[in-house]
Amino acid sequence: MAILYMISLFLLSPASAEELTSYAFVNDDGTIRIKKKTIHLYGIHIPGTSNNCRTTQHPPVCGQRAALALEFKIKSFVKCEIISDNPNGSLTGWCFVNYSHFDEGDDLSAYLLERGWAAALPDAPIEYHTLEKIARSRGMGVWGIAIDRPYISPFR
Q: What is the pLDDT of residue 52?
A: 59
Closest by Cα among 73, 45, 71, 48 to 61: 48
Per the structure, the count of domains in the chain is 1
Q: Whose CA is closest to 119, among 92, 97, 95, 141?
A: 141
pLDDT digits (tens, 9 = 90+) for 9-61: 344 434 456 999 999 999 988 899 999 999 999 999 988 756 555 555 555 55
Q: Give the residue numbers spanning the domain of 139.
A: 16-147
Which of 59, 56, 54, 127 minimizes the C-alpha distance to 94? 127
Its pTM stands at 0.76
Look at residue 8 and tell me if it is in a domain. Answer: no
* Mean pLDDT for the chain overall: 80
% pLDDT > 70, the chain: 72
- Is residue 6 one of the residues assigned to a domain? no
93 falls within a domain: yes
CATH value at residue 80: 2.40.50.90
Is 55 a member of any domain?
Answer: yes
Classify residue 100: in a domain, yes or no.
yes
57 located within any domain: yes
Residue 152 is assigned to a structural domain of this protein: no
Using DSSP's 3-state secondary structure scheme, residue 12 falls into: helix
Q: Is residue 4 part of a domain?
A: no
- Nearest residue to 70 via CA among 156, 141, 148: 141
